[in-house]
Amino acid sequence: MAATTHETCIAACNACAVACDRCAGACLREEDAQAMARCIALDIDCAALCRLAAGVMARGSEFASLVCTLCAQVCDACAEECAKHAMDHCRQCAEACRRCAGECRAMAV
C-alpha cells in the first residue's frame, strides 16, 4: 500500500486533527467549559485517532484500512457533537470531521 495513493486521506486526517485541537482549546475557554465536556473529549479522541490514521497510511501499514474505519466512526461522533454547538470553532471542526470521515471510508474500501 503506497502512501501516495492515500495523500488526500492523509491530508484530511491531518487537517481534522488540527481542527479538533483548535476546537478543544476554544471549548476550554468557553464561559461554561463543563457544558462542553463531551465535545472536548471527542475532539481529543478524534485528533489522536486522525494522527494515528495518517501515520499508518504514510507508513503503508497493513492495519491502515482497519484504523481508517475506526477513524471514520470517531469523526462521525465528533462531527455530530460539534454540530450541536453554535460556535464557529465547533462548526469548522464538524466540517473537517465530515470530510475526514468520508476520505477514511473511501480509503478503507
pLDDT tens track, the chain, 109 positions: 444 579 999 999 999 999 999 999 999 999 999 999 999 999 999 999 999 999 999 999 999 999 999 999 999 999 999 999 999 999 999 999 999 999 999 998 8
The CATH code of domain 3-108 reads: 1.20.1270.360
pLDDT at position 108 is: 87
- Residue 76, number of CB atoms within 10 A of its CB: 18
pTM: 0.94
Cβ atoms of 16 and 94 within 8 Å: the answer is no
Domain edges within the chain: 3-108
- Residue 25, number of CB atoms within 10 A of its CB: 12
pLDDT at position 4 is: 58
